[in-house]
């Protein structure tokens, strides 16, 4: 069965998350239903990561196995046709080796979080940014984030529902930038690691927001990390503004 890699973009707001669910809409379910329109059977796709309800995808990667030897471009176009009107788009489709796997072949995941600072509610980008009504100290957040880089036990920053076998992960990078946009000043957090724990990014951003607001000192992040207690975490921010922005592979099928 020919295997194809899919580069997927989606608006997470209408979905209960990436993973297929029996009684709620999901991104996986939408793509599998579109595949069934092309080859009338049950389809199961695999993804690089499972995003939660309300979380968006700019660079999610999945793979599917087909009976027919499709031209990759035509397969992507056909999927986009049958995905309408769901807010899901196949940006690229490429033929890959039979043993290539969207999840297990990945060497890193990248997330973007957008935080809008203004008193007025988000209107045009509602659900796509987290709005706070106060200014944040970008440099203080960078100082706090330094404590999280590297190999650590991230028990404090993972959901109690996390199914990972170990809370020990290596966080390779956190970049924090202030951007003056047309809707107002925005803080963008970019995080990179081989893999992430459930709610890890939202827990980290929510905690760093407290540092930027002056409620926490940068060194309080270190103390929270070392506590290895979920109760030591700052507030977990909403999914609004969180994007799976990219996945890295040794041989990128979309390069």
By annotation, the residues acting in catalysis are 52
The span from the CA of 66 to the CA of 77, in Å, is 15
Q: Sign (positive/negative) of CA torsion 4, 9, 12, 14?
A: negative
β-strands 3-10, 150-153: how paired?
unpaired
Residue with tokens 């207690």: 229
Contact yes or no for 170/200 (Cβ under 8 A):
no
Distance of CA 160 to CAs 42, 124, 191, 195, 243, Å? 33, 34, 21, 17, 22
The span from the CA of 181 to the CA of 62, in Å, is 32
């Amino acid at each position: 069965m020919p295997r194809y890699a899919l580069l997927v973009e989606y608006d997470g707001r209408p979905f209960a998350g990436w993973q297929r669910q029996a009684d709620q809409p999901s991104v996986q379910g939408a793509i599998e239903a579109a595949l069934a329109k092309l080859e009338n059977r049950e389809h199961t796709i695999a993804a690089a990561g499972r995003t939660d309800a309300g979380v968006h995808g700019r660079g999610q990667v999945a793979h599917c196995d087909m009976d027919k030897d499709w031209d990759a471009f035509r397969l992507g176009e056909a999927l986009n046709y049958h995905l309408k009107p769901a807010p899901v788009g196949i940006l690229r489709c490429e033929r890959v080796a039979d043993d290539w796997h969207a999840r297990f072949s990945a060497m890193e995941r990248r997330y973007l979080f957008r935080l809008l600072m203004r008193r007025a509610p988000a209107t045009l980008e509602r659900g796509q940014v987290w709005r706070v009504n106060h200014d944040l100290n970008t440099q203080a957040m960078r100082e706090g984030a330094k404590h999280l880089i590297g190999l650590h036990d991230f028990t404090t920053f993972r959901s109690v529902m996390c199914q990972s076998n170990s809370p020990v992960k290596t966080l390779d990078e956190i970049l924090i930038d202030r951007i003056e946009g047309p809707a107002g000043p925005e803080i963008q957090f970019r995080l990179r690691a081989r893999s992430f724990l459930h709610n890890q990014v939202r827990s980290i951003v929510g905690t760093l927001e407290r540092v930027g607001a002056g409620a926490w000192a940068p060194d309080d992040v270190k103390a929270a990390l070392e506590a290895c207690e979920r109760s030591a975490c700052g507030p977990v921010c909403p999914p609004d503004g969180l994007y799976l922005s990219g996945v890295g592979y040794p041989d990128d099928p979309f390069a």
